Amino acid sequence: MNEKPFDNRPIGVFDSGVGGLTVLDHIVQLLPGESTVYLGDTARVPYGTRSADTVTRYSLECAQALVARAGVKVLVVACNTASAVALPLLASTFSVPVIGVIEAGARAALEASRGGAIAILATTGTTRSGAYLSELRRLGAECEVIGRACPLLVPLVEEGWVDGVVPLLTLDRYISDLVGRADVIVLGCTHYPRMRSLLRQLLPAAVAVVDGGVATAAQLQAVLSEQGLLAQPGRVPNHRIWVTDAVEAMVRMAPDFLRIDMSEVNIEHVEIATHG
């Protein structure tokens, strides 16, 4: 009888900062026996306003730290901006599987679509890259695809302003012309799921709001299973969060993002090798 192989190495997840914890949360909920190491590049956030070259360099450095220092078995690029510009290079650089958030998000959007426009709310960098549009077309979408950069939303979420009149008016300014035109809205940025209930107040019930993090966790589960990389069932997992800046902001904000016992999460500062 063939024994099913197990792999107890951690899952590596990285993002420009705290927002990728929305993706980590879905991973931990779906795969409760898996250990994780999350790297938030808080010293260099935001990525969404930077050039594709800079984001690619930062992404390589984050991935290298997770592979070399944490010995991860898979890399999840939780950051939409990094996924949009750096995924092919990351996949060809590292021998472990590399999973971004764009493919899963685009697939989920297409499944929810009823023929109206699909609108992608994202950072300036993700919007400029056209990555969601390319992925949707690759998957066969023929509908209108609207990219909408919403640069003020990340700082609002970072400040914890996820309800009340200021974020509501800001969101409305970004999306009011989409009402009646789009039947799917994609939360194409790590931070935006935190504004989901506010967004729902502005949208008719028939409009689907898609969070790529859910589909990314499902894709990760499928890859681990297909490649014999799942951890041994019943194992008690270990969760580490690394930040490249001081830990205080992460210590303060992480509990708002994660539905796990924070006393079991080790948060520490790391220096990662940088190249200019």
Q: Which two tokens mark 57?
A: 């360099």
What is the chain's alpha carbon radius of gyration, rounded to the nearest angstrom? 18
Q: Which residue has the tokens 């969101």?
A: 171
Exactly one of 42, 56, 190, 219 binds ligand DGL (CB under 6 A); that residue is 190
Nearest to 226 by CA among 97, 37, 111, 57: 97
Phi and psi at residue 148, to the nearest 5°: -130, 110
Question: Is 47 a binder of ligand DGL (CB under 6 A)?
Answer: yes
Q: Which helix (H) or strand (E) holds 65?
A: helix 52-70
CB of 270 to ligand DGL, least distance (A): 18
- Residue of 10, 40, 48, 100 interacting with ligand DGL (CB under 6 A): 48
Q: Measured from the CB of residue 2, what is the shortest distance to ligand DGL in angstroms?
A: 40
Is 241 an interacting residue with respect to ligand DGL (CB under 6 A)? no
From the list 56, 59, 81, 127, which residue makes contact with ligand DGL (rule: CB under 6 A)?
A: 81
User: Minimum CB separation from ligand DGL for residue 256, in Å?
Assistant: 16
**Residue 253: CB minimum distance to ligand DGL, A:** 13
SS3 145: strand
Q: Can residue 154 be called a binding residue for ligand DGL (CB under 6 A)?
A: yes
Catalytic residues: 79, 189
Structure tokens at 63: 């991935």
Q: Is 126 in the site for ligand DGL (CB under 6 A)?
A: yes
Q: Which of residues 26, 73, 107, 191 is near ligand DGL by CB under 6 A? A: 191
DSSP string, 90-128: HHHH-SS-EE-SHHHHHHHHHHH--SSEEEEEE-HHHHH
- Residue 79 found at the interface with ligand DGL (CB under 6 A): yes
- The region of 79-87, 179-187, 194-202, 233-241 touching ligand DGL under the rule CB under 6 A is 79-87
- What minimum distance in Å lies between the beta carbon of 212 and ligand DGL? 9
3-state secondary structure of 13: strand
Q: Which of the residues 14 through 43 are near ligand DGL (CB under 6 A)? A: 15-17, 19
> x/- contact string, 86-125, with ligand DGL (CB under 6 A)?
-------------------------------------x--
d(CA 246, CA 254): 14
Q: Which residue, 16 or 216, has its beta carbon nearer to ligand DGL?
A: 16
Contact between 76 and 23 (Cβ < 8 Å) = yes
Cα 260 from Cα 45, distance rounded (Å): 24
How many C-beta neighbours within 10 Å does residue 243 have?
A: 24
Neighbours of 206 (CB within 10 A): 8
Q: Cβ closer to ligand DGL: 170 or 230? A: 170
Which chain residues interact with ligand DGL by CB under 6 A?
Answer: 15-17, 19, 45-48, 79-81, 123, 126, 154, 189-191
